[in-house]
Structure 1
Amino acid sequence: MSANRGIFQDFKANKKNIKGQLVMVLYRFACLARTNKITTILFFWYLILYLVVVEWFMAIELSWHVQPGENLQLHHGFCLVVNPGVKIGKNCILRHATTLGNKKSAAGDFNSGCPVIGDNVDIGANVCIIGPLKIGNNVMIGAGSIVVKDLPDNCVAAGNPAKIIRYL
């Protein structure tokens, strides 16, 4: 997906959500600035600005290494932590105080794997998804859930640990 197309799709997906629009536009431009060594050097100032504004002031850790699909929506984006190795599908919704992160392996390696989020996934507020998990397509995860196992397609899950409540 081209960055220009991604910017417009993210902007439209976050309509009536000024903060979500701002963060996603800044994010897509940061991704453009990181495409190669020349643009990284030329736009080094912008990458610093992105880190200060988005990560420090807005408290949204959304690294330019994250691979989101089209139409990513950030609802009430605050205290959002997305590990750089996470892959996010199309039409996903992330709410505040959500963590998508990696898990330390028995050997002490912190890069043992990150979640892969499918398409059309709705992640509630204060959800924690840790480790090399696969979240299927068309999944809804309830607020406050702790996901420690894979979730199949077309289901609703909630709880600590998250359990499938029903299938869609």
Structure 2
Amino acid sequence: MRDILQDWKVNTGNTKGRLVLLSFRLAQKIRRAPKPIFWLGIPYLVFYRLLIEWVLCIELPWNTQVGPSLRLYHGMGLVVNDQTVIGRNVALRHNTTIGVKETLPFGTRAAPTIGDDVDIGAHVVILGPITVGSGARIGAGSVVVKDVPEGATVVGNPARVIHIATMPEATCA
């Protein structure tokens, strides 16, 4: 049950985000379940696609790798490719697309990898086999087609770095 509710607390006050992520985590559980349970869960997976994708307009495939504490703000128009890897404590806003730029040969990852603690603004497009480093911030309306360094703030079309936060140095004891 803890797996299914891992995003609940960070979406406090965000009923839609809670509903979407609760549904998403349950669909992930069913998809990974042993065959007898999976077959019994197919009606739920169909319901998930109908409710989340068609009614709420949020494409978050249940086989997408998503870390804990994902936050969805105004999720309408959100499209995430199923090859995308999203780290922990990431914030996604409405009308954002995270996907592939081109179809690559079988077995080649064509979608972005989003690090931990990343904040992605509204109307952002992130495309291709790129990495968005941990702690990065992507401004609203940005189009990201190149790697984003850790702690960077990027804006624009195409996105460019406007600031890099200094990461605290590890202390040796």
- For the aligned residues, what is the CA RMSD? 1.6
- On the 8 A contact 1:129/1:146 being kept in 2, the answer is yes
Q: 1:34 maps to which residue?
A: 31
Q: 1:153 maps to which residue?
A: 150
Q: Structure 2: any 5+ residue segments left out of the alignment?
A: 166-173
| Matched residues, number | 164
| C-alpha distance in structure 2 between counterparts of 1:116 and 1:95, whole Å | 17
| Alpha-carbon shift at residue 7 of structure 1 (Å) | 2.7
User: Mapping of 1:55-94 within 5 angstroms?
Assistant: 55-94=53-92
| Alpha-carbon shift at residue 123 of structure 1 (Å) | 0.3
Q: 2:41 maps to which residue?
A: 43
- The structure-2 alpha-carbon separation of the partners of 1:89 and 1:108, relative to structure 1 and needing over 3 Å to count, comes to closer
| C-alpha distance in structure 2 between counterparts of 1:112 and 1:85, whole Å | 7
Structure exhibiting the larger radius of gyration computed from Cα positions:
2
- On the 8 A contact 2:79/2:96 being kept in 1, the answer is yes
- On the 8 A contact 1:104/1:112 being kept in 2, the answer is no
Q: Structure 1: any 5+ residue segments left out of the alignment?
A: none
Q: 1:166 maps to which residue?
A: 163
Give CA-to-partner distance per residue, 1:99-151, whole Å, 9 cap, x none.
0001215x787x65110000000000000001000000000000000001000
TM-score (norm 2): 0.90
2:45 maps to 1:22 = no
| C-alpha distance in structure 1 between counterparts of 2:99 and 2:155, whole Å | 18
Percent sequence identity over aligned pairs? 45
